[in-house]
Chain A
Amino acid sequence: MKRILLIFKYSPKLTVGVLILLFLILLAVFEPTINYYRLGGRSSTEIGLFDTFLPPSREHPFGTEAYGRDVLSLLLTGLRYSLLIGFTAGGLATLIAVFLASIAGYKGGRIEAFITTIANAILIIPSWPILAIIVLFVTKVNLLLLSVILAFFSWAGASRQIKAQIASLKERPYIDLAKVTGFSDLEIMFKEILPNFLPYIFVGFSSAVTGTIMAETAIRLVGLGPGDIPSLGQFINWAIYSGTLAQGYYLIVISPIAFLILTFVSLNLINVGLDEVFNPRLKQVTGV
Chain B
Amino acid sequence: MKKSIFSYLINRILLYALIFLISLSAFFFFINLVPGDPVTRYIQMLEQRYGLSTPASEIVIQKYKEVFGLNKGLFERYTSYLSRLILHFDFGPSFVAFPKPAIELILESLPWSVGLLGTSVIIAWVLGVILGTIVGWKRESKISSTFFTIGLVISQIPTYLLAIVLVMVFTFWLNLFPMGGAYSAMLQRSFSLRFILSLIKHAFLPSLSLVFVYVFGTMISQRALVINVLGEDYIKLAEAKGLKSSRLINRYILRNTLLPQATGLALSLGFIVNGFFLIEWIFNYPGIGRLFMMAIREMDYNVLMGITITTMFCVLTANLIIEFLYPLIDPRIRRG
A210 close to B292 (CB less than 8 A): no
CB of B144 to closest CB in A, whole Å: 9
Number of interface residues of B (CB under 8 A): 57
* Given A126-B274, A128-B274, A246-B172, A261 and B27 contact (CB-CB distance below 8 Å): no
B237 at the binding interface (Cβ < 8 Å) = no
Interface string of A117-153 (1 = CB under 8 A from B): 1001101111111101110111100000000000000
Closest to A135 in B: B296
Interface residues of A in 83-122 (CB under 8 A from B): 117, 120-121
Complex Cα distance, B305 from A137, in Å, reads: 12
In the complex, which of the residues A133, A285, A288 has the most CB atoms of chain B within 10 Å of its own CB atom? A133
Give B123-166 interface residues, CB cut-off 8 Å to A.
Answer: 139-140, 145, 148, 152-153, 155-158, 160-161, 164-165
Q: For B319, list chain A residues within 8 Å (CB).
A: 124
Of A214, A236, A246, A269, the most chain B CB neighbours within 10 A belong to: A214
Bitwise, A246-267 to B at CB < 8 A (1) or not (0) is: 1010100110010011001101
Proximity bits, B296-336, A CB within 8 Å = 1, else 0:
10010000110110011001100100000000000000000
Residues A120 and B267 in contact, CB atoms below 8 Å apart = yes
Decide if B165 touches A132 in the complex (CB within 8 Å): no
Residue of B nearest to A239 (CB): B164
Interface size class, chain A:
35 or more
Once A124-B319, A127-B270, A134-B30 are accepted as A-B contacts, the answer to whether A222 and B153 lie under 8 Å apart by CB is: no
The complex places the Cα of A117 from the Cα of B155 at a distance, in Å, of: 27
Complex alpha-carbon distance, A130 and B30, angstroms: 10
User: Distance (Å) between the CB of B150 and the closest chain A CB?
Assistant: 11
Q: Which of B161, B267, B275 makes the CB contact (< 8 A) with A124? A: B267
By a CB distance below 8 angstroms, the chain A residues around B31 are: 133-134, 137
Residue of A nearest to B308 (CB): A129
**B161 — nearest CB in chain A belongs to which residue?**
A257
Residues of B within 8 A of A240 (CB): 164
Contact mask for chain A residues 267-279; partner B; CB cutoff 8 A; 1 contact, 0 none: 1110010000000
Is the CB–CB distance between A126 and B270 below 8 Å?
A: yes
B296 touches A224 (CB 8 A): yes
| Residues of the A chain whose Cβ atoms lie less than 8 Å from the Cβ of B270 | 123-127
Contact of B278 among A222, A246, A286 (CB under 8 A): A222
Bound together, the chains give a CA A229 to CA B286 distance in angstroms of: 31
* Residue numbers in A under 8 Å from B34 (CB-CB): 137-138
For the complex, is B266 an interface residue (Cβ under 8 Å from A)?
yes
Residue B167, interface by CB 8 Å: yes
Question: Within 8 Å CB of B145, what residues of A?
Answer: 288
Contacts from B to A (Cβ < 8 Å): 15, 19, 22-23, 27, 30-31, 34, 36, 41, 139-140, 145, 148, 152-153, 155-158, 160-161, 164-165, 167-168, 172-173, 224, 227-228, 230-231, 266-267, 269-271, 273-275, 277-278, 281, 292-293, 296, 299, 304-305, 307-308, 311-312, 315-316, 319
